[in-house]
Amino acid sequence: MPREKINHAAPFEPTTNGDGPAIHGESWPEPEALLSWTRGADYGPGFVQVALECPRAYILNLAADLKANPDMETIGVYSPALTRDHVNALVRTARKARDQAFGRDE
């Protein structure tokens, strides 16, 4: 299954909360956006899939937020802000993935 990385993780420094130390006390890289796809095969039609690859500390931080807020039913996981070059790469890769997974549009 082909897979292309859209962005590469940049270091992330948690913001401070007032005059205190960093909110989570550590740094971790941002998630990386990935696009993968496959052609149709014996097991079914082709597909295109978007994924965010997140460092363990990032996921544990999200889990801690959920645990601390029992009324919270969902939590958003977002890619980092994409530059124009990243968006262009995403569009090019998505077109390639679409064509390879489902065939070219006419």
* 55-92 pLDDT per residue, tens: 888 888 888 889 999 999 998 888 888 889 989 999 99
At residue 71, the pLDDT reads 95
At residue 17, the pLDDT reads 53
Whole-Å CA distances, 24 to 13, 32, 80: 9, 20, 18
What does the pLDDT look like over 4-63, one tens digit per residue? Answer: 788 776 665 555 555 444 444 455 667 888 899 998 776 678 899 999 998 888 888 888
CA distance 38 to 48: 7
At residue 93, the pLDDT reads 94
CA distance 27 to 14: 6
At residue 94, the pLDDT reads 94
CA distance 84 to 81: 10
CA distance 11 to 6: 16
Whole-Å CA distances, 95 to 48, 68, 81: 10, 41, 21
